[in-house]
Amino acid sequence: MNKQAPEIFQRPLATLDLAGLPPTTDPGFEQAVIMRYAMQYAAKGWTAAVVVSEVMVRVVAVPQQGYVLKGFSDASPDWGMGAMLSITMK
């Protein structure tokens, strides 16, 4: 199985193809956008978290069997954090 990196992006709502969705003023618009992205990624076997604001849609999508959390390692003290999480592809 080919492992892929997560997809993380944001796009202005004004740039989206809104065909088939309710008008942006409709109370169901936000849910329709969320479902569109969630179903698109589910069809690929991915899980997606989608957030819609008044002007932006943000998506974080991960393959259901795509990567493993490797653990924590020391981070530079200059970063102001004690540890950094590293992710490795399976």
Which residues make Cβ contacts (< 8 Å) with residue 35, sequence separation at least 6? none
pLDDT tens series, the chain, 90 aa: 556 788 999 999 999 999 999 999 999 999 999 999 999 999 999 999 999 999 999 999 998 876 555 555 555 444 444 334 434 344
pTM score, whole prediction: 0.69
The CA distance from 13 to 28, in Å, is 15
Reading phi first (left if > 0) and then psi (alpha if -120 to 50, else beta), residue 45 is in: left
